[in-house]
Amino acid sequence: HSANQQVRSKSSDRCLDAYQGWDGGIVHLYRCLDGEANQKWALESSTGKLKHVTHKGFCLDTDPAQNNKVQLYGCSPKTMPINSGA
């Protein structure tokens, strides 16, 4: 089960935004905009993966070769799961 939604910062009006739909695509915080396709994510509860809704087949991931930089990357078993615990 998943729901399409924005991932919002608790401290500011910023949302997780991915505007490059390819491996290594930039993911950054950007002003939250209602209906913004680059800010739509779905948490897949069975795998813990945060999938991008617009860039189908891509997930939030990190690049260990670049100091764990957050990026968009093709979803696979190796894609980083999201730990929802605090």
pLDDT, averaged in runs of 10, over the chain (86 residues): 76 94 95 94 89 94 88 84 56
CA distance 35 to 16: 13
- Strand order through the sheet with 58-63: 4-5, 41-44, 49-52, 58-63, 69-74, 25-31, 14-18
Size of the chain, expressed as the number of residues it contains: 86
| Terminal-residue alpha carbon distance, the chain | 22
- pTM of the predicted structure, to 2 decimals: 0.81
CATH fold label, 4-74: Trefoil (Acidic Fibroblast Growth Factor, subunit A) (2.80.10)
- What residues does each domain of the chain span? 4-74
φ and ψ of 38, to 5 deg: -75, -10
In this predicted structure, what is the pLDDT of residue 3? 61
In this predicted structure, what is the pLDDT of residue 46? 86
